[in-house]
């Protein structure tokens, strides 16, 4: 059992998506008590959920949360550095996640 304290994010610091597809950036954090807030930023600005390009899914986990930023029909401009910040009453943790484009060509090659 994990102890009570500030969140601890365990996500991969580099994630990949295919330009033109719906891309998911995942931020998973251990947090007891449960997090009060998860904030995504891109290029220093909070992700605007009124923007049609983005949506966020939050899945509660037994000892934390998984927040997934979904980028619809990703374009070149969507790739780069995202920050995920998770807060609970004991503090917060933040990680920088580099979203890199992955070519469809490479993906097809791996399947064979």
User: How far is Cα 74 from Cα 77, in angstroms, rounded to an integer?
Assistant: 8
Residue 112: is its pLDDT beyond 70? no
Mean pLDDT of 22-28: 97
User: How far is Cα 64 from Cα 102, in angstroms, rounded to an integer?
Assistant: 29
Cis amide bond preceding 33, omega within 30: yes
8-102 adopts what CATH topology? Answer: Immunoglobulin-like (2.60.40)
Residue 50: is its pLDDT beyond 90? no
Nearest to 76 by CA among 21, 39, 27: 21
Annotated domain spans of the chain? 8-102
Mean pLDDT of 63-74: 97
């Amino acid at each position: 059992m994990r102890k009570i304290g500030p969140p601890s994010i365990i996500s991969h610091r580099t994630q990949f998506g295919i330009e033109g597809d719906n891309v998911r950036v995942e931020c998973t954090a251990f947090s007891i008590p449960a997090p009060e807030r998860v904030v995504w930023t891109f290029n220093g600005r909070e992700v605007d959920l009124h923007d049609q390009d983005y949506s966020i899914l939050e899945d509660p986990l037994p000892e934390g949360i998984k927040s997934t930023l979904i980028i619809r029909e990703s374009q070149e401009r969507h790739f780069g550095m995202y920050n995920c910040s998770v807060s609970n009453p004991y503090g917060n943790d933040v990680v920088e996640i580099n979203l890199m484009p992955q070519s469809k060509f490479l993906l097809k090659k791996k399947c064979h």
